[in-house]
Amino acid sequence: DIKARKDWNVGSVPYFAEHIRRYLEEKYGQEVLYREGLQVYTTVNVAYQRNAQQAIRKGLYDLDKRQGYRGPLGHLAPEEIETFFQNMKESAEGNSLEKGSVAKGVVIEVSREEKKASIRLNEGVGTLPVENMEWARTPDPEIAYGAVKISDPTKVLKIGDIVLVRLIEQDAKAGSWILALEQEPDAQGALLCMENGTGHVKAMVGGLDFKISQFNRAIQSRRQPGSSFKPFTYAAALDKGYTPATIIIDSPIIYTDDQMDWKWKPKNYKEKFYGPTLFRTALIFSRNVVTIKIVRDIGIDYVIDYARRFGITAPLSRDLSLALGSSGLFL
């Protein structure tokens, strides 16, 4: 029998591989891509990619925990638990458990005195100690993260709750797992690692989980660059005759639009004005008002055209907020 050869690298770099596939299909067409036996060589580094994915996952999970616990995935009556696990075994969710993985489980016991909960898993039962769920406070933006730590598991869990848990350690003799409470992050993230000297992309992560969302936030989404856009403005100004010693007045200014009944009074980060300011000082300290005045002087269209010379292709707004990086850019 002829068996297809499995490419282990593609599975470990899903966002990168899908980006390459779309690029090749657009450039050469489906017929060539799928029927001509192309050999494609890329710059991705699998070790970098693995580390990037782990960093994104850890960062998003940590961020989500700081917001508090949104509650269980669902709740089961006692007579529904067996059916729930039978369905899990028949689906992809019934895969064998591995250290570090996240799995669904059902709370079958909660003890205030012993400060732990027992969680039934697809295979066996695990223990969830209270110290591994102390982050699970009720979400409250008025209370700082860490100010409230859970010390009573009954405040968080009830028998029959369907929860996500991470498998921390397995008891070699008993076979049971030590668990930590988890929840799927609401936020998403992305990472693009590029080698400066060559422009080679070494790692690309477009989201938390490619299986859940194939949208590649590393290259398909647009984000406001904010003050990181200012160097383009200052470089354009240097080509327009400004020097590092040019003095610009950092003072209040109001822009109005009588037809729209609209006023805009830009401010610096610390809401202070600094008077006569050197060009280089304004760049070093990222002074908003000075930057806006520079853009107004050299012209919005000139700044846009200058940015295009650096490969920026995203739409750029033709207003003074461009100076503060208000236009979303692609990586």
Euclidean distance between the first and final Cα of the chain, in Å? 45
Q: Answer positive or negative: Cα dihedral of 296, 324, 328, 309.
A: positive
238-280 pLDDT per residue, tens: 999 999 999 999 999 998 877 767 788 999 999 999 999 999 9
CA within 13 Å, CB half, 44: 24
Is residue 168 scored above 90 in pLDDT? Answer: yes
309-318 pLDDT per residue, tens: 999 999 999 9
Domains of the chain in start order, with CATH, are 1-65+188-220 (no CATH), 71-182 (2.40.50.140), 226-324 (3.40.710.10)
Q: Is 93 helix (H, G, I), strand (E, B) or coil?
A: helix
169-188: average pLDDT: 88
116-145 pLDDT per residue, tens: 999 999 888 999 999 999 999 999 888 888
Amino acid (1-letter code) at residue 18: E
**Mean pLDDT estimate for the chain:** 91
Is residue 95 scored above 80 in pLDDT? Answer: no
Output b/e per residue, 103-127; b: 16+ Cβ within 10 A.
bbbbbeebeeeebbbbbbbbeebbb
pTM for the complete prediction?
A: 0.77
Cβ-Cβ contacts under 8 Å for 151 (sequence gap 6 or more): 115, 130, 134
Quick one: pLDDT at residue 131? 95
